[in-house]
Amino acid sequence: MLALTEQGRQLCDRALRYRLEYLSDLLDDWSPDDRAAFARLLGRFAEAVHPRRRT
């Protein structure tokens, strides 16, 4: 079994915070309706891709 070290967890946390801040900056001037539409379509895309993943 593999497990992240404390340093690895911290790195993952920093990477997640960076991605969230980056996306927030990109979408800063989008209207709430545009953000909602984007989230809905991105979710739909993710659902379509998921069953097609190769194992």
pLDDT digits (tens, 9 = 90+) for 28-44: 999 999 999 999 999 99
In a domain, 45, yes or no: yes
In a domain, 17, yes or no: yes
- Non-local CB neighbours of 38 within 8 Å, separated by 6+ positions: 27, 30
Confidence band, pLDDT 50/70/90 cuts, at residue 51: confident
Host domain of residue 29: 6-52
> How many domains, in total, are found in the chain?
1
pTM assigned to the model? 0.64
Annotate 15-33 with b (16+ C-beta within 10 A) or e (fewer): eeeeeeeeeeeeeeeeeee
In a domain, 1, yes or no: no
- Non-local CB neighbours of 12 within 8 Å, separated by 6+ positions: 4
